[in-house]
Structure 1
Amino acid sequence: MVIPSQKHVRNSLLSRMHPDDYAAIETVLEPVTLKRKDVLIQPGQPLTHMRFIESGVASVVVGTREGRRIEVGIIGSEGASGLPLLFDVESTPHETFMQIDGEALQVDKASFRNLVEERPAFRKLMMRYAHIFQLLTAQTALSHGSYTLEERLARWLLMCHDRVSGDEFPITHEFLSVMLGVHRPGVTTTIHILEGAGTVRARRSHIEIVNRDKLKLIAGESYGIPEAEYRRLIAEDAAEG
């Protein structure tokens, strides 16, 4: 893999940063291929890289000693994995792993911290993304506690759709049950409900979004707040700049 020019980079943070900042980070970027289930961050282990996702989707999950797990965050080409490094934190109890194959451009810990310290515009961009990711985790907590499984699944499918190219992506009912913290039969039943509403089409290990607008109506207020903040603070701000 070759490091792309800023014009052709797929990660939104890299594509929207100031050209001088991209020129600086470009010299220390390293391309990596990421396979499904690859662990990007191991709980309690030293963080080594900030990874700007170019394609694919990663999940941030928390777990109990008994082995129960639930997703609290999702990362695609809009963001990056390794945010604790921004705050000079060496490790985190949360795990991050790939749920859909993809690629990333990564920068080692020392180089990333140098960029944060030396380049104010770069630091501002990363801090804004960290703020948005915090909103995403908060919205996920609200969804788990306040919305129906149908609304939560619609939200999750919309977030995944935001982060993949095309309308179809690989996902299993078993994986969704873990990510949403529910039993698999509940996920299967809810997918059938969404199919009946004409929003998705499910086949073995894949889901296709066929009517995004209807899916957004089902998700309701569970979806949209972090996404609006991303547009306001990163996408629109970069366009104005």
Structure 2
Amino acid sequence: MSNHLLSGIPSRERNRVLNHCESVELVFGSLLCETDQPYSHAYFPLTGFISLVAHLDAHRPLEMGLIGSEGMLGVTLILGVRKAPIRAVVQGAGNALRITSSQLLRELHECPELQRSLNRYLYVLMAQLSQGAACIHFHEIQPRLARWLLMTHDRAQADHFHLTHEFLADMLGVRRSGITVAAGELQQQHLIHYSRGEITILDRAGLEAAACECYNAVTDCYSKLLG
């Protein structure tokens, strides 16, 4: 398993960075950073994935973005800002490479291709966050759920994963009953199988057709900038 950002830079730079990384387990539900608190580390997921979650007082949490092996948690460090702009929670268990935020900033001075790659990834992540905000406002629950399942499928590297109604409702910012109806409709179309929190993707192409335009918009942006 590898991280796309690290595998895409020259071996000299990659080896420099890897020499300062440690392998860590991503434990489901673990808090990796909190809004407005300093980053201790940046994370390059190898397997598993991380949710970027907005949290307002008196409101349920709302997922704004996902990070898997295509990306990195802590990319805003390249702007010279050490505080996290949003909470990050492990959503899919796996493994990652992590590097201290201070060491990453030092390596950027010696690794121009890494700097270039992270600049581009920051643009892609901003596109994902802005597209997600529009999606929440304008699109119905079912196509949003289909989009979210596709994003999770991309990062889970498996057709089967565990997601409860309550968890999905929190991630999409909707009532649990809305998830029940939307998941039931996708199951009736034989796109997924969903039982007691266990989801299996049955028809990837059909799920893409059911998803809103936001899924392709973000994946196309990533492909154009980072291949």
State whether TM-score is above 0.5: yes
Q: Distance in 1 between matches of 2:144 and 2:115?
A: 33
Report the CA distance between 1:95 and its aligned residue: 0.6
Please identify runs of 4+ aligned residues in structure 1 that moved more than 6 A: none
- TM score, norm. by length of structure 1: 0.91
CA deviations 1:213-236 (Å, max 9, x no partner) are: 11111113121112112112112x
Match of 2:112 among 93, 116, 120: 120
Q: Distance in 2 between matches of 1:157 and 1:191?
A: 10
Letter in 2 for 1:150: Q
**Contiguous gaps of at least 5 residues in structure 1:** 1-8, 236-241
Q: Distance in 2 between matches of 1:19 and 1:156?
A: 34
Letter in 1 for 2:62: I
CA deviations 1:27-59 (Å, max 9, x no partner) are: 101100111111111222211111000111110
Q: CA 1:220–1:68 in structure 2 vs 1: closer, same or farther (change >3 Å)? A: closer
> Is the deviation greater in 111-120 or in 145-154?
111-120
Q: Distance in 2 between matches of 1:216 and 1:184?
A: 23
Letter in 1 for 2:222: Y
Q: What's the counterpart of residue 211 of structure 2?
A: 219
Q: Distance in 2 between matches of 1:213 and 1:165?
A: 16
Mapped contact 2:74–2:84 kept (Cα < 8 A): no
Structure 2 counterparts to residues 85-104 of structure 1, below 5 A: 85-104=77-96
Mapped contact 1:100–1:170 kept (Cα < 8 A): no
Q: What's the counterpart of residue 197 of structure 1?
A: 189
CA deviations 1:161-182 (Å, max 9, x no partner) are: 0101221111111011001000
Match of 1:42 among 34, 40, 61: 34
Indicate the SS of the match to 1:98. strand
Q: Distance in 2 between matches of 1:26 and 1:99?
A: 24
Report the CA distance between 1:93 and its aligned residue: 4.4
Mapped contact 2:26–2:95 kept (Cα < 8 A): yes
Mapped contact 1:41–1:82 kept (Cα < 8 A): no
Letter in 2 for 1:49: H
Letter in 2 for 1:140: G
Mapped contact 1:55–1:164 kept (Cα < 8 A): yes
Match of 1:136 among 128, 138, 155: 128
Indicate the SS of the match to 1:127. helix
Q: Give the aligned length.
A: 227
Q: What's the counterpart of residue 171 of structure 1?
A: 163
1:146 aligns with 2:131: no
Letter in 2 for 1:69: P
Q: What's the counterpart of residue 5 of structure 1?
A: none
Mapped contact 2:41–2:101 kept (Cα < 8 A): yes
Indicate the SS of the match to 1:13. helix
Match of 1:58 among 40, 50, 60: 50
- TM score, norm. by length of structure 2: 0.96
Q: What's the counterpart of residue 30 of structure 1?
A: 22
Q: Distance in 2 between matches of 1:206 and 1:128?
A: 35
RMSD (CA atoms): 1.1
What's the % identity of the aligned pairs? Answer: 32
Mapped contact 2:139–2:212 kept (Cα < 8 A): no
> Is the deviation greater in 60-69 or in 95-104?
60-69
